[in-house]
Amino acid sequence: MITMKTKTNNKVSVELTLNDETTVTLIVDSLIETEHTFLDMKSAINFKQKVLLLKIRHSKTNTIMDLTHVVPYVLLFFNEKYEFRGASYSLNKGGASYMLQTEYKTILFIKYPNNLRLNNIEKLSYE
């Protein structure tokens, strides 16, 4: 089992800035910080959580995440300046293995479906 530092008591608020300079504020159910390069996300996520912020703190180029049975979420990827760089969906309901490799160190998991228009997101900020 992978140990990750999880904060659930003190709610973290994240703000997504959109293309039109409006913002969407989300309350993060858990902030997970880790130095691991391989993450079994099923053991890290409580599926009642709607929003989870993952901060990866190692210096390696890539992180591999096992997202098998981690459904339904959309993952938003942000660079070191918290600029939005892309998204991926974890919707596999069939139970097949699903692995994802990423270079990004800040990843926001949001329950799917949601009302976000991914092509309108510019950046992330959080406290």
- pLDDT tens-digit map of 27-38: 999 999 999 999
Average confidence score pLDDT of the chain: 89
Does residue 127 register a pLDDT over 80? Answer: no
pLDDT, position 120: 95
Provide DSSP, 50-84: SEEEEEE---SS-EEEE-TT--SEEEEEE-TT-BE
Within its chain, how far is the Cα of 83 from the centroid?
A: 14
Taking Cα atoms as reference points, which of 110, 112, 109, 108 lies closest to residue 126?
A: 108
* 3 has a pLDDT exceeding 50: no
pLDDT of 23 reads: 94
Residue 80 pLDDT grade (very low, low, confident, very high; cuts 50, 70, 90): very high
In this structure, which topology does domain 5-126 adopt according to CATH? Jelly Rolls (2.60.120)
As a whole number, mean pLDDT of residues 65-85 equals 95
